[in-house]
Amino acid sequence: MERHTGYFHEVEKEIAAAAGNRKGLALLDVGTGTGERLQRVVSEIRPHRVAAIDESPEMAVLAQRNCPSAQVLAMPLGAPELPGALSERFDLVICLSNVLGHIPKTQLVAGLKQIRSLMKPGGAFVFDVNNRYNAATYGLLSVIRNMARDRVLPGGGDFTAAYRDSEEVLHTPVHLFSPSEVAWMLRESGLKIASIGFRDYVTGQERGRFGGSIVVKAVSE
């Protein structure tokens, strides 16, 4: 994770820019994980109200500890009881580090529609996802293979990621997105792209479509 610190900081600058100087800002973090990143964002933009969700109860406990000012709910995106559990709507919703790539494909558009319904009019949704055409990270050959596969068999992009947890190697399914897929899912959800960019996954510097992760700011249509 430390390798990606520069990238994380640049994404967080985009979040700060999206927050602007709004007074009384309400912030929601979807898939907050340990909440450490949320706490960093909170220290930077100083929202009036903060909420966060994570489908993992263990993560929700950690997030509450690491970001005490937040209302943290152990709930997955798309849970029907989520809107009722959050008492207000949000100026800014964030969803960072490819959280959307962990949501089953069949639930993705419904999840994004729920995010839209949780946004105030004029609110913004900032997220980043892994780009399966990122040759700088995955290598040129893999990207050529991914592009060829997408031409023949649309609907690809599912991989198994391996993480080392002390002695154990854990495997988890993850989806890597293509830029056109991102545009499609936002359109289907009634969200409009305000900006889309590609950032080097290590330094966070802006790159072309084959050189970085996808960072998006979307607004409600």
Ligand X SMILES: C[S@@+](CC[C@H](N)C(=O)[O-])C[C@H]1O[C@@H](n2cnc3c(N)ncnc32)[C@H](O)[C@@H]1O
Q: Which residue has the tokens 């031409």?
A: 151
Task: Tell me, by CB under 6 A, how many residues bind ligand X.
Answer: 16
- Output the smallest distance, CB 166 to ligand X, in A: 18
Complex with ligand X: residue 22 or 102, whichever CB lies closer:
102
Q: Which stretch binds ligand X (CB under 6 A): 18-26, 95-103, 117-125, 137-145?
A: 95-103
Query: Which residue in the set 19, 96, 112, 129 belongs to the binding site for ligand X (CB under 6 A)?
Result: 96
In sequence order, the 6+-apart residues with CB closer than 8 A to the CB of 56 are 74
Using DSSP bridges, classify how beta strands 191-199 and 206-207 pair: parallel, antiparallel or unpaired.
Answer: antiparallel
**Residues 60-79 interacting with ligand X (rule: CB under 6 A):** 76-77
Query: Which residue in the set 97, 114, 189, 213 belongs to the binding site for ligand X (CB under 6 A)?
Result: 97
Q: Is 156 in the site for ligand X (CB under 6 A)?
A: no
Complex with ligand X: residue 99 or 191, whichever CB lies closer:
99
- Output the smallest distance, CB 56 to ligand X, in A: 4
- Output the smallest distance, CB 77 to ligand X, in A: 4
Query: Which residue in the set 22, 49, 89, 102 belongs to the binding site for ligand X (CB under 6 A)?
Result: 102
Rounded to whole angstroms, the Cα distance separating 37 from 173 reads: 23
Interface mask toward ligand X for 24-43; x: CB under 6 A: -------xxx---x------
Complex with ligand X: residue 53 or 145, whichever CB lies closer:
53
DSSP letters, the chain, are -GGGHHHHHHHHHHHHHHHTT-TT-EEEEES-TTSHHHHHHHHHH--SEEEEEES-HHHHHHHHHH-TTSEEEE--TT-TTHHHHS-S-EEEEEE-SSGGGGS-HHHHHHHHHHHHHHEEEEEEEEEEE-BTT-HHHH-HHHHHHHHHHHHHSSS--EEEEEEEETTEEEEEEEE-B-HHHHHHHHHHTTEEEEEEEEE-TTT--EE-TTSSEEEEEEEE-
Complex with ligand X: residue 33 or 211, whichever CB lies closer:
33
- Output the smallest distance, CB 18 to ligand X, in A: 16
What's the start-to-end Cα distance of the chain, in Å? 35
Comparing every residue's Cβ against ligand X, the nearest one is 33
Complex with ligand X: residue 75 or 147, whichever CB lies closer:
75
Which residues of this chain interact with ligand X, rule CB under 6 A? 31-33, 37, 53-56, 59, 76-77, 96-97, 99, 102-103
